[in-house]
């Protein structure tokens, strides 16, 4: 089954053709990041407008580079939640128009479920059940993936998401948006023991995260140094901060795995591209857990992951009608269809 999949929840206009949930025939991503960089973050109004301009060309290219015509496509899938509402609406309306014009089924896909599904592409043998750490710009969750469309969140951030915490700290050091990527690169040449960082814990909820204290600590550290006229050693600050964030993520994730008896562990979302997170989990999982990660090109937002999850939503009978609407916030566990 060939699914045309569309993603427009944030600042990438993306489309892909994916066969049977695992085989990517094309994957086109048009990023708006250079424009949002000028403002230090995503400007929702601009994002929606750029999606509207790009979507026809991106979908056209996805179909062509899959060596397909519209007739070869069996269904259209789209990210409908969660995300920036105006941005989501562009993809949703495009997919509705496509479904209406072609008479093909319309499959609604939850954005975080699709991040998890990027792993089905990179690890073709992977099947639920497993425990997944989903870390993106907007979310940090530990999710029990009991089946392809049956999920339960057992840990979440109480404040900033991991990606947001990376981006905000990076911004305080003058690293342009989205700073998480660059901070990760700079940290490679720094000393992670240079600056002591707090170890935030959420009382009574051992799997929950809290990053705002950590973020404030690093911002204060930079401001204090600047006020005293001292030089900030950016690589050392990046490395110490990255180590602290990664320890929080890895500690809680592995504790949950141990407590709940999972042996298959999976990471997903933009922050799953973080080099230290990948190295640290690989090291700590060795001989004890099977660890699955998406290839780096599938960690950020893309259409292929939407096509992967859509296949399983389709098999579960989750089909939308043409009154499908975009939803800004929706728990990963919820099925509206």
Residues at the site binding ligand KG4, with contacts judged by CB under 6 A: 10, 115, 136-138, 163, 166-167, 178, 180-181, 184, 269-271, 273-274, 300-301
Nearest CA-CA partner of 271 in 166, 201, 182, 122: 166
For the bound state, the minimum distance from the C-beta of residue 33 to ligand KG4, rounded and expressed in Å, comes to 10
Given its phi and psi angles, is residue 26 left (phi above 0), alpha (psi -120 to 50 degrees) or beta?
beta
N residues, the chain: 337
Q: Which of 301, 305, 307, 313 binds Zn ion (CB under 5 A)?
A: 301
Nearest CA-CA partner of 84 in 51, 44, 55: 44
Nearest CA-CA partner of 83 in 30, 133, 136: 136
Span near Zn ion by CB under 5 A; candidates 166-174, 232-240, 298-306, 318-326: 298-306
Nearest CA-CA partner of 157 in 202, 210, 206: 210
Is 95 buried (19+), middle (13-18) or exposed (0-12) by CB count in 10 A? buried
Residue 167 within binding range of Zn ion, rule CB under 5 A: no
Site string for Zn ion, 124-143 (x = CB under 5 A): ------------x-------
Buried b or exposed e, range 174-188, using 16+ CB within 10 angstroms: ebebbbbbbbbebbe
Span near Zn ion by CB under 5 A; candidates 41-49, 183-191, 246-254, 301-309: 301-309
> What's the number of CA atoms in the CB half-sphere (13 Å) around residue 90?
28
For the bound state, the minimum distance from the C-beta of residue 242 to ligand KG4, rounded and expressed in Å, comes to 8
Nearest CA-CA partner of 88 in 26, 42, 123, 19: 42
For the bound state, the minimum distance from the C-beta of residue 180 to Zn ion, rounded and expressed in Å, comes to 12
Considering the complex, state which of residue 190 and residue 269 has its C-beta at the smaller distance from ligand KG4: 269
Question: How is the chain split among helix, strand and coil, in percent rounded to 5?
Answer: 45, 20, 35
For the bound state, the minimum distance from the C-beta of residue 192 to Zn ion, rounded and expressed in Å, comes to 27
* E strand segments, the chain: 2-7, 12-19, 23-31, 75-81, 106-110, 130-135, 140-147, 150-156, 264-268, 290-292
Considering the complex, state which of residue 13 and residue 104 has its C-beta at the smaller distance from ligand KG4: 13
For the bound state, the minimum distance from the C-beta of residue 144 to Zn ion, rounded and expressed in Å, comes to 20
- Who contacts 64 (Cβ-Cβ below 8 Å, separation ≥6)? 26
* Cβ atoms within 10 Å, residue 247: 16
- Of all residues in the shown chain, the one whose CB is closest to ligand KG4 is 270
For the bound state, the minimum distance from the C-beta of residue 261 to ligand KG4, rounded and expressed in Å, comes to 28
For the bound state, the minimum distance from the C-beta of residue 86 to ligand KG4, rounded and expressed in Å, comes to 16
Considering the complex, state which of residue 113 and residue 215 has its C-beta at the smaller distance from Zn ion: 113
Find which of ligand KG4, Zn ion, none residue 252 binds, CB within 5 to 8 Å per kind. Answer: none
- Binding-site size for Zn ion (CB under 5 A) equals 2
Find which of Zn ion, ligand KG4, none residue 309 binds, CB within 5 to 8 Å per kind. Answer: none
Find which of ligand KG4, Zn ion, none residue 211 binds, CB within 5 to 8 Å per kind. Answer: none
Find which of Zn ion, ligand KG4, none residue 271 binds, CB within 5 to 8 Å per kind. Answer: ligand KG4
For the bound state, the minimum distance from the C-beta of residue 10 to ligand KG4, rounded and expressed in Å, comes to 5
3-state SS, residue 183: helix
Residues near Zn ion (CB under 5 A): 136, 301
């Amino acid at each position: 089954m060939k699914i045309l999949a569309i993603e427009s929840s944030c600042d990438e206009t993306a489309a892909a053709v994916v066969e049977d949930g695992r085989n990517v025939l094309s994957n086109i991503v048009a990023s708006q990041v250079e424009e949002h960089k000028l403002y230090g973050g995503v400007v929702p109004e601009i994002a929606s407008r750029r999606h509207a301009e790009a979507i026809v060309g991106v979908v056209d290219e996805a179909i062509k580079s899959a060596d397909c015509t519209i007739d070869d496509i069996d269904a259209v899938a789209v990210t409908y939640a969660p995300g920036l509402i105006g941005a989501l609406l562009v993809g949703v309306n495009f997919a509705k128009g496509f479904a209406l014009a072609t008479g093909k089924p319309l499959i609604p896909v939850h954005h975080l479920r699709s991040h998890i599904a990027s792993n089905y592409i990179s690890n073709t043998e992977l099947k639920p059940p497993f425990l997944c750490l989903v870390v993106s710009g907007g979310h940090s969750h530990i999710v029990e993936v009991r089946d392809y469309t049956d999920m339960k969140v057992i840990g979440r951030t109480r404040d900033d998401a991991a990606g947001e915490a990376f981006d905000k700290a990076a911004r305080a050091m003058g690293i342009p948006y989205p700073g998480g990527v660059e901070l990760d690169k700079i940290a490679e040449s720094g000393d992670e023991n240079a600056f002591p960082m707090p170890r935030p814990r959420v009382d009574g909820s051992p799997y929950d995260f809290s990053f705002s204290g950590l973020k404030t600590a690093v911002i204060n550290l930079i401001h204090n140094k600047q006020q005293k006229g001292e030089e900030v050693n950016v690589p050392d600050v990046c490395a110490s901060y990255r180590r602290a964030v990664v320890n929080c993520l890895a500690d809680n994730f592995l504790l949950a795995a141990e407590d709940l008896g999972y042996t298959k562990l999976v990471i997903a979302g933009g922050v799953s591209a973080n080099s230290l997170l990948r190295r640290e989990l690989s090291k700590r999982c060795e001989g004890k857990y099977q660890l699955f990660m998406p290839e780096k090109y599938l960690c950020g937002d893309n259409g292929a992951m939407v096509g992967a999850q859509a296949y399983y939503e389709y098999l579960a009978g989750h089909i939308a009608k043409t009154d499908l609407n975009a939803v800004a916030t929706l728990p990963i566990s919820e099925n509206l269809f």
